[in-house]
Amino acid sequence: MEKSYVWGIDLGGTKIECAVLSAADLTQVIARERIDTEASKGYEHIISQVARLVSRVSEQLGVSPTRIGFATPGVLNPATQTMKNCNTTSMNGRPMAADLTKALGVEVRLANDANCFALAETHLGAVQDVNPKAEVVFGIIMGTGVGGGLVVHGQVINGLHGIGGEWGHNILEEGGKACYCGKSGCVEHVISGPALEEFYFSISGQKLRMPQILQAHLAGTDIHASATIERMLENFGLAVSTLINVLDPQVIVIGGGVGNIDLLYTEGIERIKKYIFNSGEVLTPIVKPKLGDSAGVFGAALLFHSEAI
Ligand SMILES: [Zn+2]
């Protein structure tokens, strides 16, 4: 009975979400439940919240899982088996896979939430519409941060250091703003929402959010807004062209709040053409995601299942 279900958990800083999908039809959601992470209460509490959520869903279904995939804010360092790069900082340095296995009595597999996003959009989302046979897919997150996930032959690539897909910390602007990662001028500090808002503030002296900046640019009434959008487009072209030069994916999916801006899919692609090593031609379908907030938890569920697809 258990084998007919596929379990995934999205372990966010605010909410922990569990989804159980039908193994026979992954688009069918059997159960879905959320619980507050209450991250401020510390690491042990987060683990116990996960256990509480799993036992609640198990009771509902009358079935306990034997394997659960997890989408996490950072990554499990493959060398040390401890977490790193988590913005829920209490997780960093902790052997979370081992602790979850101990607390839940199940086999676990962990992947970064951006990797889970890419995996879910590949198997269940936008990639299915444009090229279901795509061998290489890159999922971009452009929102409050910039991240990414790489899926090859249906499998997520965590990589040797666990940083597969982390293009958000490639250096884009030499001498740019200092990043929490210890370097400066990272992609994330140029084209994330907060970085663009900060840029707008630095040239206009006004605090506006991205949707307002975009609106002012489209209305043609604010030269600073237009300069901000120009900065976004040009740097998007530059940063994405390097991704294509290295991976040449068959599909790129762009999630996150900034990723929702239509101009990226028109003028943004023109800017990629400027920099790509392909005589100015970009054939890559660059598309919006389809699964919305569900991508993390669905991708987590697919971590065990994707081998079979
Ligand atoms: Zn960085």
pLDDT digits (tens, 9 = 90+) for 53-63: 999 999 999 99
User: How far is 105 from 65, CA to CA, in rounded Å?
Assistant: 9
What is the per-residue pLDDT for 306? 66
Question: pLDDT tens across 273-283, in order?
Answer: 999 999 999 99
What is the per-residue pLDDT for 3? 66
What is the per-residue pLDDT for 308? 45
What is the per-residue pLDDT for 60? 95
The residue assigned the tokens 């669905």 is: 298
Q: How far is the CA of 195 from the centre of ligand 1 (A)?
A: 12
Q: How far is the CA of 186 from the centre of ligand 1 (A)?
A: 5
At CA 177, angle to CA 213 and CA 113, rounded to 5? 75
Q: How far is the CA of 306 from the centre of ligand 1 (A)?
A: 30
3-state DSSP helix/strand/coil % of the chain, to nearest 5: 45, 20, 35
User: How far is 261 from 253, CA to CA, in rounded Å?
Assistant: 13
Report how far Cα 152 is from the mean position of its chain's Cα atoms. Answer: 16
What is the per-residue pLDDT for 62? 95
Q: How far is the CA of 31 from the centre of ligand 1 (A)?
A: 37
Share of the chain above pLDDT 70, in %: 98
**For range 106-131, the mean pLDDT:** 96
Q: How far is the CA of 254 from the centre of ligand 1 (A)?
A: 19
Contact 12, 296 (CB under 8 A): yes
Q: How far is the CA of 184 from the centre of ligand 1 (A)?
A: 6
Q: How far is the CA of 309 from the centre of ligand 1 (A)?
A: 34
Q: How far apart are the first and last CA of the chain?
A: 20
Q: How far is the CA of 212 from the centre of ligand 1 (A)?
A: 26
Q: How far is the CA of 135 from the centre of ligand 1 (A)?
A: 29
pLDDT at 149 over 80: yes
Q: How far is the CA of 245 from the centre of ligand 1 (A)?
A: 21
Question: pLDDT tens across 281-303, in order?
Answer: 999 999 999 998 899 999 999 99
Q: Average pLDDT, whole number, for the chain?
A: 94
pLDDT at 90 over 80: yes
Q: How far is the CA of 188 from the centre of ligand 1 (A)?
A: 7
Q: How far is the CA of 113 from the centre of ligand 1 (A)?
A: 17
**For range 94-119, the mean pLDDT:** 96
> Can you tell me whether residue 214 is helix, strand or coil?
helix
At CA 136, angle to CA 130 and CA 142, rounded to 5? 75
Give, in order, the Cα–Cα distances in Å from 3 to each of 29, 101, 123: 15, 18, 19
pLDDT at 1 over 90: no
Question: pLDDT tens across 13-52, in order?
Answer: 899 999 999 999 999 999 999 999 999 999 999 999 999 9
CA atoms within 13 A on the CB side of 260: 10
What is the per-residue pLDDT for 180? 85
pTM of the shown model: 0.92
Q: How far is the CA of 174 from the centre of ligand 1 (A)?
A: 12
Question: pLDDT tens across 168-227, in order?
Answer: 999 999 999 999 889 999 999 999 999 999 999 999 999 999 999 999 999 999 999 999
**For range 242-262, the mean pLDDT:** 96
Share of the chain above pLDDT 90, in %: 89
Q: How far is the CA of 167 from the centre of ligand 1 (A)?
A: 9
CB under 8 Å to 17, separation ≥6 — which residues?
Answer: 9, 10, 32, 33, 34, 296, 297
Contact 199, 231 (CB under 8 A): yes
What is the per-residue pLDDT for 87? 82
